[in-house]
Structure 1
Amino acid sequence: MPESDDGTPGLTIADPKIGDYLLNTEHPEGGGKAKFFLAHGFGSDVPDLFLASLFAHARPSHLAGEQATGFGTKFVYEGPMIMPDGSTWRIRSVWHRPLGETRRFLVTAYPF
């Protein structure tokens, strides 16, 4: 599982979140998100670029809110993300920190 190495503590993205979900046009829930991200230059052939962009997006200045749930804490980040094609879009990313865990795991990301 890749983790942020830019000094932001505890951000983790499970490998399947990228290739099997956010960049998979055939995924029933992620297909539309995949079409968006692929159209703007991200690709499953270079997942590290997408990972780095998602980690950079989840910076403290983009934190829009957090909410305690029965399973942990949900964190919502909103802000600009520069795409490989040079465009900039407002993206919302959602991360979850399970009870008893220090890491935040990516749940989803999409334009809004």
Structure 2
Amino acid sequence: MVATRRESRGPAGTPGVAHPGREDRRLLAESYAPEGGSKAKFLLRFGFSADQPNILADALVSHYVSAPDTQMIFDAVGSRRIVCEGPIKGVDGREPWIRSV
């Protein structure tokens, strides 16, 4: 089942973030996990830093709000995932196209 962009919003039309900063620090830690190192290297190339995870958090919220393609996907057990595809504004001004879940 896929929801529209409007249905995938959190309270008051904002995305829901359970622990702001925690996931962002993990994404930017190259040594966190072997499978996550490529994501960290990618994000670091655009100026994001593990020392300032809130900058990435803000960029991800903006990415969610302005992404041209946002869907809410439900799996067989009822878990939901919000999938966004579109540009994210890097600290250095570039806007790489990303897919976030």
When the two structures are superposed, what TM-score results if normalisation uses the length of structure 1? 0.67
State the AA in 1 paired with 2:43: F
The corresponding residue for 2:40 is: 34
The corresponding residue for 1:19 is: 25
Q: Residues of 2 paired with 1:76 and 1:11: CA distance? A: 13
Higher normalized helix content (fraction of residues)? 2
Superposition RMSD in Å: 2.0
Within-5 A mapping of 1:60-79: 61-69=67-75, 70-79=77-86
Give structure 1 regions of 4+ aligned residues with deviation exceeding 4 angstroms. none
* RCO comparison, higher one (Cα < 8 Å, 6+): 2
Gaps of 5+ in 1: 1-6, 95-112
**Equivalent residue pairs, number:** 87
When the two structures are superposed, what TM-score results if normalisation uses the length of structure 2? 0.73
Within-5 A mapping of 1:42-61: 42-59=48-65, 61=67
> After superposition, what is the alpha-carbon deviation per residue over 1:23-68, rounded to whole angstroms, capped at 9, x for unaligned?
0111222110000111110001111111100111112653443221
